[in-house]
A and B are shown apart, each in its own frame.
Chain A
Amino acid sequence: MADIDIKDIVKEENIVYKKTKVLTDKVMHYCPGCGHSTTHRIIAEVIEEMGIQDKTIGIAPVGCSVFMYDYIDVDTQEAAHGRAPALATAIKRLLPDRFVFTYQGDGDLAAIGTAETIHACNRGENITMIFINNGIYGMTGGQMAPTSLEGMRTSTTPYGRDPGLMGHPIKMTELVAQLPGTYYVTRQAVHTPNLVRKTKKAIRKAFEYQKLNKGVSFVEVVSNCNSGWKMTPVKAVKWLDENMLSFYPLGDIKVPEK
């Protein structure tokens, strides 16, 4: 077989994957290998493929992803810590034909924002909730999160999380699945290509289901936090596989009945 020159392959018509236009050109500030970057990318791709950039309103949290609005090119509001579901509630009820999504970390959604999370899910707001669970508080320097695993060392549990003192890690996704107001509840991950493809399908569903007005679509993404866990990205995803997924198993927890 004749050797093919790279120049023959690298042509506009041969592109099978390139960065979506709904991601801005700004380099994301997230650490190398962070699940935030990947998830932002997936959300942007879904918005582009659904053609809803002019109808989507995002709500950014407090945490590493506070600057989500610099990267995903949609109208965005910055919420106070934990309050994104409250903002989303009002926006969706006042502009019901728009696609409204919240994007929160584990401190935002499962600590300070627990009430807003539970009640938006209980009321069955027709929104998409994205929950990035990396078991740690990244932005503030690696403190314990409600979802930190038992025995996990963080800057405020330097000897490992002791459930007797700090309680057990909390499974928000299973909790909200019990509320009738949630319509689609799933747990995904983004550290391998196959998982990314699955997560994209899940997030696509989570946006599509808004059209049905049947309640919250809730997508948890179990992610690595390389800086907080103090590991290289490759080691961190291995640690994720070996430790996080047995406690936070991937898969659909609640799917709409056919």
Chain B
Amino acid sequence: MEEDFVLMKGNEALAEAAIRAGADGYFGYPITPQSEVMEYLTAAKPWERTGMVVLQAESEVSAINMLYGGAGAGKRVMTSSSSPGISLMQEGISYIAGAELPVVVANVVRGGPGLGTIQPSQSDYFQATKGGGHGDYHLLVLAPSSVQEMADFMPLAFDLAFKYRNPVMILSDGAIGQMMEKVKFQPQRPRMKDEELPDWATTGKKPDRERNIITSLDLDPYRQERFNRKLIEKYQKMKEEEVRYETFQCEDAEYLFVAYGTSSRICQKSVQLAREKGIKAGLFRPITLFPFPEKQVGALADQVRGMLSVEMSAGQMVEDVRLATNGKVPVEHYGRMGGVIPAPDEIVEVLIQKFIGG
């Protein structure tokens, strides 16, 4: 029904969806362009609705460590931040992955590096998908491209985090965080009761079990190696079961845009414009950036004559596209940086220039 739709900012939708997903706690720190997430939560008073805890920490470093503590106690906890703040969280995220804890971290990406700009960017792809923090680990990364997906990915992110006992990142950008679109929320699902908390969590050592220890430390290198192998198997399972993507007019495509998030919205228009010019363009939109849909992109390499990775960055996802196509087809990158957003016709011009000539 139309009444079920509301008009909301991406950041706000993320916050409302977190409440409805039965989140136990949000611990965050303000940073543009995502402060609305915490502002919405503190105004919505979810502690009265569901008992959810909302706390503004003293820094992103503190916030990610609050997440570690809450997740170690078996609770659904999340945070949101933007690029410089996410950098501050990298140590904590590595610890969370090393301790096999479920958390959700939303990154509303802004231009970088350093303090950068406050406008949208996609320049944290490497950080999100290749590690970011130290050690051999991966985040499961979901890339929304609309306010609706900001809302839908919230309960999904929690479920995946607990399924794999791994941190999950929602990699958004400043445009999606700030823009307003219609969104329909899923109904409220309950927070976990005490009895439902996972049996590995630190909830208090009852006499019938050994004490639970949440740690990522091991001084025995052979045991640590076995643990790292266990993580590798985890990520392999993610690759087999969690790949998500969307295609737009790919069936007869001769040229492919590969883009996620805001870039994919723009490229949808670029596909239309290209087709008006007689170019059979299509769009492949990865939804999971890790695990990257390498099989699907690889399969399309047999069909198309060229792929253009369109990202608001100096070119990060393009490397994964190249890996997936394994040299079968030319792969180029186009992107704007520093918070500049490309226009659809600009992208079509680049496609023509790089692949078709003239």
- Report A's interface with B, CB cutoff 8 A: 53-57, 59-60, 66, 69, 73-80, 83, 86-91, 93-95, 98, 115-116, 118-119
Contact = CB atoms under 8 A, between A and B. Distances in A.
Given A89-B55, A90-B67, A75 B62 contact: no
Contacts, number: 127
B159 interface: no
Given A59-B69, A74-B211, A75-B203, A90 B77 contact: yes
Nearest to B54: A93
Q: Give the one of B57, B63, B203, B213 with max A CB within 10 A.
A: B213
B75 A80 contact: no
Interface stretch (B91-99, B165-173, B221-229, B239-247): B91-99
A79 B101 CA distance: 13
Contacts of A118: 58
A135 B270 CA distance: 64
A76 B205 CA distance: 9
Interface in B38-95: 53, 55, 57-59, 61-63, 65-70, 72-73, 75, 77, 91-92, 95
Nearest to A99: B204
Interface string B127-144: 000000000000000000
Given A69-B213, A94-B53, A87 B72 contact: yes
B205 A53 contact: yes
Contact of B91 (A77, A80, A87): A80
B65 A116 contact: yes
B217 interface: yes
Contact of A83 (B62, B207, B215, B216): B62
Contacts of A59: 69
24 contacts: A54-B206, A57-B204, A69-B213, A73-B211, A74-B211, A75-B212, A76-B212, A77-B68, A77-B72, A77-B214, A77-B215, A78-B215, A80-B65, A83-B61, A83-B92, A86-B61, A87-B65, A87-B69, A90-B75, A93-B53, A93-B55, A94-B24, A94-B25, A98-B203
Contacts of B202: 57, 75-77, 91
B27 interface: yes
A78 B77 CA distance: 18
Contact of A91 (B55, B69, B213, B217): B69
Contacts of B24: 94
B59 A115 contact: yes
Interface residues of B, number: 39
Q: Give the one of B27, B201, B214 with max A CB within 10 A.
A: B214
B217 A78 contact: yes
B95 A80 contact: yes
A199 B53 CA distance: 34
Given A73-B211, A119-B57, 16 more contacts: A66-B217, A69-B211, A76-B214, A78-B99, A78-B215, A80-B65, A83-B61, A86-B63, A87-B66, A90-B55, A90-B69, A90-B77, A91-B73, A93-B55, A94-B73, A95-B203
A78 B214 contact: yes
Contacts of A119: 57-58, 62
Contacts of B75: 90, 94-95
A182 B66 CA distance: 20
Contact of A75 (B27, B67, B204): B204
A139 to B, nearest CB: 12
A98 B204 contact: yes
A115 B202 CA distance: 25
Contacts of B201: 75
B216 A78 contact: yes
Contacts of A89: 27, 55, 57, 66, 69
B5 to A, nearest CB: 33
A55 B204 contact: yes
Contacts of A94: 24-25, 53, 70, 73, 75, 77
B71 to A, nearest CB: 8
Contact of B211 (A75, A83, A88, A91): A75
Q: Give the one of A78, A80, A86, A87 with max B CB within 10 A.
A: A86
B204 to A, nearest CB: 5
A119 B61 CA distance: 12
Contacts of A77: 68-69, 72-73, 202, 213-215
Q: Give the one of A60, A80, A90 with max B CB within 10 A.
A: A90
A24 to B, nearest CB: 9
A74 B217 contact: no
A60 B201 CA distance: 15
Interface in B16-41: 24-25, 27
A86 B62 contact: yes
A57 B206 contact: no
A76 B95 contact: no
Contacts of B211: 69, 73-76
Nearest to A76: B213
Contacts of A74: 204-205, 211
A73 B92 contact: no
B7 to A, nearest CB: 33
Given A78-B216, A87-B69, A91-B73, A116 B62 contact: yes
Contacts of A75: 201-205, 211-213
The 7 closest A-B pairs by CB, nearest first: A87-B69, A78-B215, A75-B202, A86-B65, A83-B65, A90-B70, A90-B69
A239 to B, nearest CB: 31
Nearest to A123: B55
A116 B217 CA distance: 21
